[in-house]
Amino acid sequence: MSAFDLSVITENLPFLWEGLQLSLLLTALAVLGGIVLGTVLALVRLSGFAPLALLAASYVNLIRSMPLILVIFWFYFLVPLVIGRPVGGLYSALIALVLFEAAYYSEIIRAGIQAVPRGNIWAGKATGLNYWQIQRHIVLPQAFRHMLPVLLTQAIILFQDTSLVFVVSLRDFMTATSIVAQKEGRLVEMYTFAAIVYFVICFAASILVRRLKGGTPQ
Amino acid sequence: MDYNWNWAVLFQEPYAEWLLSGVYWTFAVALAAWVIAFTVGSLIGVARTVPNRFARAVGGAYVELFRNVPLLVQMFLWYFVLPEVVPEALGHWMKRDMPNPQYISAVLCLGFYTASRVAEQVRAGIQSLPAGLTQAGQASGLSTVQVYRYILLPIAYRVIIPPLTSEFLTIFKNSSLALTIGLLELTARAQQITDYTFQGFEAFTAATVIYVAIALLATLVMHLVEGRLRVPGMATREASGS
C-alpha cells in the first residue's frame, strides 16, 4: 500500500458533497418530524387520558429498546409492502428515522414540559383555558426555550445516526465514502476522511450548543 | 396488502439455528465490549476529575474524539483502516492470522466507543458528590488514590447505576452495527432470514421481541441491584426523576 493519497478525495469531491447534502437533508427532515411527533407523544403521555397515554408510553419504550438498524430494516421491508410497489430506500429510511428519533425526542420534551412549574398550569386553568390551550400558549413555549440545547444535542446524535442508512445503500455521505473507498481501493484515505468530516461538523456543532447553553438562563 | 403469514418459519431448519446463533453473537459482542467500556470508561471518567491538568485534558480529548465520530465510521476504522496503519508485521497478522477478525474489531470498537459514554457518567457521578467528602478524606491523611478508592468511587458507582444501566442496554443495541463488517449477529440474521424466505414480518418480529426481552431483563436485574446498593439519603431514580 502506497502513501496516503489525497487525490482520491479531491477527485471525488462532487460525489461526496452530494452524499453530505443527503445526510444533512435526512437530518433536517428527521429532526423536524421527530420533534413534531415527539411533542405529540409527550403531550399524549402527560394528558392523563390513560388508554392513549399507555399506548404512547409502550411505543416509546418499544422503540427505545430496538437498534436503529433493525428499525431501518423493518421499514425497508414494510413500506413497499404497504404501498404495494417499490419506493426506494429514501422514503423508508426517512420514515424509520422519524419514528425512531420521535421516541427519543418525546422523552426530552416530556422532561422539559414537566420542568415547567405547576403554578403556570393552575393559573391557566383558573383563567379558563383548556388543556391544549394551556400547552400551546403557556407550557410549550417555556419548555422549548429550556430544552433547546438538549434538542440540538440530540440533532447532532441524529446526524451521526443518519450514517446507518448505509445498511440500505442509500447514498448519504457514509455510503458515498464507502463507494469511493471500494471503487478506488483507498479504504484508509476515505474512512479517515469520513471520520475527520463527521468530527469537524459534530464537534463544531457541539461547541455552538455549549455556548448557547451558557447564554440561556437556567 | 398481500402477505402470506408463516410463523412456523422461525422454528424450521436452518432458520431457528440462525436466530439462536444471532442471539449468541449479540451477547458475545455486547458483554465483551462492556468489560472494555466499563474499565476504560472508569479510568477516563476518573482522569477527568483528578487534580492534574494533563490527565483532565487527555480524558476530555478522548471523550470528544469518540463522541463526535459516528459509530459506523469507527467500526470501519477498526476493521479496515487499523490493520493498514499499524506496523507491517502486526497488520499482516491482523489480516491473515487473527482469529475471528470481525468479532474482535466489533468488540474493540464498541468497547472503546461506549467507554467515552461510561466516562461521562462516572465523571458526573464523582462531580455530584459534595466537595466536603474529598476534603474530609484529605484532612484525615488519605492520598488522592485512597480518596478515590475508599470514598468517592464506592458512592459514585452506586449513584450512577441507572444511567449505567441505560448504557449497558445501548451496547446491546449498538452491537447490531457489527453486521456492517460482516458479523452475523441478531439483526443480521433477521435480515438474512428475510432475504431467504421473504417472511420479513416474522423474522423482524422475532428479533424485536428478543431485543425487548433483553431490555426488560437487564432493567429488572439492575433495578434489583440498585435497590440493594442504594446509598441512604442519596439521589435515587424516583427522587432524581430520570
Q: B144: pLDDT confidence band, cut at 50, 70 and 90?
A: very high
* Residue B1, pLDDT score: 64
* B191 within domain boundaries: yes
Instruction: Give the gap in angstroms from C-alpha A126 to the nearest C-alpha of chain B.
Output: 27
B194 closest CB neighbour out of A77, A156, A192: A77
Q: In terms of Cα–Cα distance, which of B170, B45, B66, B169 is closest to B112? A: B66
Go through the domains of chain A in sequence order and give each one's CATH number. 15-175 (1.10.3720.10)
User: B73, B168, B173: best mutation site toward chain A, by most A Cβ within 10 Å?
Assistant: B73
Q: How many domains does chain B have?
A: 1
Contact assignment for A66 to B211 by CB distance below 8 Å: yes
Report whether pLDDT(B241) > 50.
no
* B2 within domain boundaries: no
The Cα A22–Cα B175 span in angstroms is 26
Q: A2: pLDDT confidence band, cut at 50, 70 and 90?
A: low
Q: B232: pLDDT confidence band, cut at 50, 70 and 90?
A: confident
Contact assignment for B173 to A67 by CB distance below 8 Å: yes
Report whether pLDDT(B226) > 70.
yes
List, for residues A78-104, the tens digit of each pLDDT value.
Answer: 888 888 888 778 999 999 999 999 999
Please, which residues 51-70 of chain B have a Cβ atom closer than 8 Å to chain A? 64-65, 67-70
The Cα B91–Cα B84 span in angstroms is 6
* Residue B193, pLDDT score: 95
* B1 within domain boundaries: no
* Residue A60, pLDDT score: 96
* B227 within domain boundaries: yes
Unique residue bearing C-alpha cell 404495494 = A84
Residues in contact with B69: Cβ distance below 8 Å, sequence separation at least 6, in sequence order? A160, A195, A198, A199, A202
* B150 within domain boundaries: yes
B157: helix, strand or coil: helix
* B18 within domain boundaries: yes
Mean pLDDT of all residues in B50-65: 95
Answer for the pair B179, A33: CB distance below 8 angstroms, yes or no.
no
The Cα B166–Cα B164 span in angstroms is 5
Instruction: Give the gap in angstroms from C-alpha A138 to the nearest C-alpha of chain B.
Output: 22
Which chain B residues are within 8 Å of A93, Cβ to Cβ? Answer: none
List, for residues B18-32, the tens digit of each pLDDT value.
Answer: 999 999 999 999 999
Mean pLDDT of all residues in A17-29: 97
B71 Cβ under 8 Å from any chain A Cβ: yes
pTM: 0.91
The pLDDT > 90 percentage for chain A reads: 82
Compute the mean pLDDT over every residue in chain A, rounded to the nearest whole number: 92
* Residue B237, pLDDT score: 45
Question: What residue numbers bound the domain in which B149 lies?
Answer: 7-240
* Residue B112, pLDDT score: 98
The CATH code of the domain that includes B38 is 1.10.3720.10
* B72 within domain boundaries: yes
Q: A27: pLDDT confidence band, cut at 50, 70 and 90?
A: very high
* Residue B239, pLDDT score: 41
Q: A215: pLDDT confidence band, cut at 50, 70 and 90?
A: low
ipTM entry: 0.91
DSSP state of B50: S
What are the backbone angles phi and psi of residue A116, rounded to the nearest 5°? -75, 130
* B37 within domain boundaries: yes
Q: In terms of Cα–Cα distance, which of A209, A35, A46 is closest to A116? A: A46
Residue B164 C-alpha from the chain's centroid: 9
Compute the mean pLDDT over every residue in chain B, rounded to the nearest whole number: 92
- All cell numbers assigned to A117: 412549574
Q: B230: pLDDT confidence band, cut at 50, 70 and 90?
A: confident
C-beta contacts of B153-158 below 8 A and 24+ residues apart: B153/B46, B153/B126, B155/B129, B155/B231, B155/B234, B156/B122, B156/B125, B156/B126, B156/B128, B156/B129, B157/B122, B157/B125, B158/B226, B158/B229, B158/B230, B158/B231, B158/B234
Which chain B residues are within 8 Å of A81, Cβ to Cβ? Answer: 1, 3, 200
B107 Cβ under 8 Å from any chain A Cβ: no
Write the DSSP string, A108-146: HHHHHHHTS-HHHHHHHHHTT--HHHHIIIIIHHHHHHH
The Cα B77–Cα B83 span in angstroms is 9
The Cα B69–Cα B12 span in angstroms is 41
Report whether pLDDT(B242) > 50.
no
The Cα A143–Cα A105 span in angstroms is 13
